[in-house]
Structures are given as structure tokens and as C-alpha cells.
Chains A and B, each alone.
Chain A
Amino acid sequence: RKEVEQDPGPFNVPEGATVAFNCTYSNSASQSFFWYRQDCRKEPKLLMSVYSSGNEDGRFTAQLNRASQYISLLIRDSKLSDSATYLCVVNRAGTALIFGKGTTLSVSS
């Protein structure tokens, strides 16, 4: 089983839609959780960290369920500029980031 698993998509949604991405991780020792965004032919960039209590940044909401080892990202009111690949990322102390394969989102007008 891969350490971080995501539905690869693609998710094709119209502008204004709400879309949710899910991610599961296998190692219960994982301590930190993130969503990164990668545009086509570009480097990954941090979108947001994910905290146990859940956190929101504008139209983006991230949730973490440690018991189920499950992470989610909700995007409300999708914009064309949200089209990208969203990478679920976990980290254990003293190790590098472990990336999921990513979920591709395409927002159309």
C-alpha cells in the first residue's frame, strides 16, 4: 500500500462549483500534513498546512481525521485559476515530505 493515496481524477467542474479532494495515509506516525499545488510544468508550492482542528484559507478548507488517517481539501466557488494538480503531503519527524500522486482539477467557464 502506498504511503499517501489520492484519487487522481481528473475532476472537471464548472466555475463556481464546490469540489472536494480526499487523501489517505498509511503511517500513523505521520505528524504534519499539507496540501501543495502544482501547475503544469511548474514546481509544487505550498497551498496550506492541515491542522487537526481543521483550517480555512479563503475558499479553501482542509480537514484532518487522524483516527481514519484521512485528509481532505474543499474548494468553494471554483475559479479558472484553480485548475492545477493538488498534492496531498505528509511528513514524519526527521524525514522528507511524502507526496501523493496528486489530483488533477480542471475548472471550465
Chain B
Amino acid sequence: DTAVSQTPKYLVTQMGNDKSIKCEQNLGHDTMYWYKQDSKKFLKIMFSYNNKELIINETVPNRFSPKSPDKAHLNLHINSLELGDSAVYFCASSQGPRTVSYEQYFGPGTRLTVT
């Protein structure tokens, strides 16, 4: 059973397009995250939701809009894609944000290439 799943795994698209990435977790966790890993392999938090409520919103262009329809799902919609958006996007989940010691479980990543 896949704990954290993402679709699609690969996404190739042209500049200016709008695309969405979906994430689902079956661990019963309350908190979900989106991370971006750029070409230099630096992994950086973008957003975090706890029970469908946005709790972390790092300095991310407003072309990126997360949506959490329920606590098991966190989707990421990107408008007007730019070349610099090319990266691997990881979804993750954890039991809760306030207890700092909880392990985060990552999805397999979505490799986005903007041409």
C-alpha cells in the first residue's frame, strides 16, 4: 500500500500553461506539505495544511495555489508556468504540526519540466 502518492510522476509542459499536481495520503495524518527540490537538489518548504487549514505559506509566487479538499488530499495548481518552475515537487504528510518530533513521510515526487 502506498502511504503518500502523487500524480502525475512526470509532467512536461510549455511555458504559460496551467497544470495541477495531486497528492493523497492514506496514513490518517492531519498535516500535509508541498516541497520543491530544484536542480541544485535544495529541498524547500512551500506550503503546509493542517486539517484543510493553511498553516505555512512560504514566499512562493501567487501563481502557485494549494487546495486541500479534505485532510487526506493536498493538490497544487500552478498558473502561467515559467521555465524556473522546473523542479521536483514532493508532497509529504505527518501526524501533526505542533508536535515537532513527528516524522514526515514523502511521496515519490512529481518531476515537472517546463519547456
- Chain A residues close to B by CB (< 8 Å): 31-32, 34, 42-46, 49, 85, 87, 91-99, 101-102
Contact = CB atoms under 8 A, between A and B. Distances in A.
Given A43-B109, A96-B56, A101 B104 contact: no
Contact of B33 (A43, A49, A93, A96): A96
Contacts of B33: 96
Interface string B86-115: 000010000001101101101111000000
Given A31-B100, A96-B33, 10 more contacts: A42-B109, A43-B109, A46-B103, A46-B104, A85-B41, A95-B97, A96-B56, A96-B97, A99-B42, A102-B41
Given A43-B90, A97-B45, A101-B40, A91 B100 contact: yes
Contacts of A45: 106
A49 B33 CA distance: 20
B25 interface: no
Q: Say what secondary structure dominates the interface of chain A.
A: strand
How big is chain B's contact interface, by range?
A: 20 to 34
Interface in B24-44: 33, 40-44
A96 B35 CA distance: 10
A92 B100 CA distance: 7
B111 to A, nearest CB: 8
B45 A32 contact: no
B108 A32 contact: no
25 contacts: A31-B100, A32-B100, A32-B101, A34-B103, A42-B109, A43-B106, A43-B108, A43-B109, A44-B43, A45-B106, A46-B103, A49-B103, A85-B41, A91-B100, A94-B97, A95-B56, A96-B33, A96-B45, A96-B56, A97-B104, A99-B42, A99-B43, A101-B40, A101-B42, A102-B41
Contacts of A42: 108-109
Contacts of A94: 55, 97-98
Contacts of A101: 40-42
A73 to B, nearest CB: 17
